[in-house]
Structure 1
Amino acid sequence: RFNMLAHRRAFVFFLLALHILPWARGSNNCPKEPTETEPPCVGYPCGIGGCDSPCRCEGGPQWCTSYCVYRK
């Protein structure tokens, strides 16, 4: 009985590790805050609201902060 419990606990930790590893690796792929100062929409965090023209929202996975960027 004890052995079964130990196996179950190890399995739960294994499942948690599967979720945490991609998260930790993916967090490096988040868009950086732009350093440009023009046009005025550059550098704002964007999400639900999106960005003013002529900027567009540059986002990563859902745990990232998205920023407005301007690509010529």
Structure 2
Amino acid sequence: MDQAGNGEYLPLVGDFMSFNEIIETLNRQGHEFSFKQVPKDVFATLFPGAAEVAETFSYFEAHTYLGSNSSDEIALATK
């Protein structure tokens, strides 16, 4: 069944995971990682351009890296 093709692009995504879920997965494999989220207003002061990076991360947190309308494309790619 042809559901995609003709030059279409589909995202290659396994799962959407939080940083804590990623850390837990890696630690179950024998690593000893930890993660602590830095507040956006603090991160924005850490280096030149950090405010812009913080805005980008905020977008990813709200809409995912692939954009907020990507769930159908992800499901098709997974299928």
TM band (smaller chain): under 0.3
Which one scores higher on RCO, CA 8 angstroms, separation ≥ 6?
A: 2
TM-score under structure 2 length normalisation: 0.24
Flag the structure with higher strand content.
1
Compute the TM-score of the two structures, normalised by the length of structure 1. 0.25
Give 1 or 2 for the bigger CA radius of gyration. 1
